[in-house]
């Protein structure tokens, strides 16, 4: 059975509510074995307060490898005997401390292979900061053990997939960070992700321009001419189905995104404002490019409704399903490419044709 780790995020937010609502469906345990990284005390608090009927037994463990199928397994991050004060809707440093511990425990188990994927409930990026955790977000944290792998944020809702070249970057720095090499590499990485993680055979990728109207041939900016178009041309030379640079406002407004397998935006809000307008309560954030699988719901801590029982669990459910789908897609993709037959090719010269089949060659 696939083991999916679920970090509890900021326990004063809606993390436990959406987790418990998903796990209140008995049939879901036929798909995966849940391993929550969090506090048994806080889980019990929210289950009673919100009256969420989860009849599945709780199994407190020390490592993800100890998880048992058919149970709600939980790796305790709070100290034994220490009471955890829960204040729904109110940020606290201790909530940030436990959120960081949950992430560190889950990442360790993920890297060790004790679990197959991690789904992260939302954190407060301020209260979680400490000497032990100094990352801008989940994406940077989970990519840290893999310095040789490029990573990318991809937001998914059905066939709508949006990636960003620069992610958690101040808007004033975006232009200086964009290079032909960076845009080109993001195109290549995104195409490979679509193939291996989503089963898209020949991905069609739309690449957005940076400036209004994609620069109007240099009138409103030159990044399209000097950076984005050269990157596209390099990708075209490698037979990639990439199109652009496309003016972002017309692209979103005319529903052009429906004709593509993915969209590559130049910066965070350019891609995520339209995505969240369409899929705020159901979308999923996927960390791409790593040898491990990490997803998360596409919403924040939602302090304004924490503890009221009004949180929509659909995004959390979709994040879990997406993690399972990626695991299965990768297995099929990698299995299909094990021990491939050697290529059969024709080498044409002026005087001969050379055939090579399974390593044997004859000249004619």
- The model's pLDDT over 257-310, given as tens digits with 9 standing for 90+, comes to 999 999 999 999 999 999 999 998 899 999 999 999 999 999 999 999 999 999
**How would residue 118 be classed by pLDDT, with cut points 50, 70 and 90?**
very high
Kindly state whether residue 222 falls inside one of the protein's structural domains: yes
Same domain, 294 and 200: no
Tell me the per-residue pLDDT of 331-359, one tens digit each, with 9 for 90 and over.
Answer: 999 998 887 666 665 555 544 444 443 44
Q: What was the pLDDT predicted at 45?
A: 95
Domain boundary pick from 281, 315, 337: 281
Mean of the pLDDT values across residues 98-110? 96
In Å, what is the CA distance from 185 to each residue of 113, 149, 164, 189, 356?
28, 12, 12, 6, 32
Same domain, 14 and 120: yes
**110: pLDDT strictly greater than 90:** yes
CA distance 239 to 263: 18
Q: What was the pLDDT predicted at 339?
A: 75
Tell me the per-residue pLDDT of 18-59, one tens digit each, with 9 for 90 and over.
Answer: 999 999 999 999 999 999 999 999 999 999 999 998 889 999
Whole-structure pTM value: 0.88
Kindly state whether residue 216 falls inside one of the protein's structural domains: yes
Same domain, 129 and 48: yes
Tell me the per-residue pLDDT of 142-185, one tens digit each, with 9 for 90 and over.
Answer: 998 999 999 999 999 999 999 999 988 899 999 999 999 999 99
On average, the pLDDT of the chain sits at 91
Same domain, 129 and 184: no
Pairing of strands 58-61, 3-7: unpaired
Kindly state whether residue 248 falls inside one of the protein's structural domains: yes
Kindly state whether residue 332 falls inside one of the protein's structural domains: no
Same domain, 107 and 181: no
Q: What was the pLDDT predicted at 21?
A: 97
Task: Give how many domains the chain has, as a whole number.
Answer: 2
Other CB atoms within 10 Å distance of the CB of residue 305: 16
Kindly state whether residue 254 falls inside one of the protein's structural domains: yes
The CATH number that applies at residue 253 is: 3.40.718.10
Mean of the pLDDT values across residues 317-325? 98
Q: What was the pLDDT predicted at 360?
A: 43
**How would residue 363 be classed by pLDDT, with cut points 50, 70 and 90?**
very low
Q: What was the pLDDT predicted at 338?
A: 85
Kindly state whether residue 318 falls inside one of the protein's structural domains: no
Kindly state whether residue 193 falls inside one of the protein's structural domains: yes
Tell me the per-residue pLDDT of 175-233, one tens digit each, with 9 for 90 and over.
Answer: 999 999 999 999 999 999 999 999 999 999 999 999 999 999 999 999 999 999 999 99
**How would residue 82 be classed by pLDDT, with cut points 50, 70 and 90?**
confident
Same domain, 213 and 251: yes
Please give the sequence-ordered ranges of beta strands (E in DSSP) within the chain, or none if there are none.
Answer: 3-7, 33-38, 58-61, 72-76, 117-120, 152-157, 160-164, 204-208, 241-246, 262-265, 284-288, 294-297, 345-348, 353-357, 360-363
Kindly state whether residue 217 falls inside one of the protein's structural domains: yes
> Residue 80 is part of which domain span?
1-147+287-306
Q: What was the pLDDT predicted at 55?
A: 83
Same domain, 28 and 143: yes
- The DSSP secondary structure of 153-178, one letter per residue, reads EEEEETTEEEEESS-S--GGGHHHH-
Same domain, 89 and 55: yes
């Amino acid at each position: 059975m696939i083991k999916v780790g679920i970090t509890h995020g900021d326990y004063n937010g809606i993390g436990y509510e959406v987790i418990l609502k998903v796990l209140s469906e008995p049939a879901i345990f036929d798909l995966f074995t849940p391993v929550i990284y969090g506090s048994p005390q806080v889980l019990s608090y929210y289950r009673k307060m919100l009256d969420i009927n989860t009849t599945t037994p709780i199994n407190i463990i020390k490592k993800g490898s100890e998880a048992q199928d058919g149970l709600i397994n939980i790796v305790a991050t709070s100290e034994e005997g220490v009471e955890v004060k829960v204040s729904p809707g109110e940020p606290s440093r201790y909530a940030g401390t436990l959120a960081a511990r949950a992430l560190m425990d889950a990442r360790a188990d993920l890297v060790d292979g004790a679990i197959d994927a991690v789904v992260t409930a939302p954190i407060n990026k301020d209260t979680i900061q400490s000497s032990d955790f100094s990352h801008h977000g989940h994406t940077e944290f989970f990519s840290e053990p893999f310095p040789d792998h490029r990573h990318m944020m991809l937001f998914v809702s059905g066939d709508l997939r949006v990636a960003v070249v620069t992610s958690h970057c101040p808007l004033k720095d975006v232009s200086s960070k964009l290079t032909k090499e960076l845009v080109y590499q993001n195109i290549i990485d995104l195409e490979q992700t679509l193939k291996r993680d989503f089963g898209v055979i020949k991905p069609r990728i739309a690449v957005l321009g940076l400036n209004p109207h994609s620069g109007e041939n240099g009138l409103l900016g030159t990044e399209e001419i000097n950076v984005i178009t050269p990157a596209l041309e390099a990708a075209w030379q490698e037979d990639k189905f990439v199109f652009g640079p496309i003016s972002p406002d017309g692209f979103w407004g005319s529903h052009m995104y429906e004709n593509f397998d993915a969209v590559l935006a130049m910066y965070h809000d350019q891609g995520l404002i339209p995505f969240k307008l369409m899929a705020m309560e159901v979308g999923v954030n996927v960390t791409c490019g790593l040898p491990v699988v990490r997803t998360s719901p596409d919403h924040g801590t939602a302090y304004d409704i924490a503890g009221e029982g009004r949180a929509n669990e659909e995004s959390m459910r979709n994040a879990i399903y997406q993690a399972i789908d990626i695991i299965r897609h990768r297995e099929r993709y990698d299995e299909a490419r094990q021990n491939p037959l050697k290529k059969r090719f024709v080498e044409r010269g002026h005087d001969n044709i050379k055939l090579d089949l399974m390593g044997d060659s004859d000249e004619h």
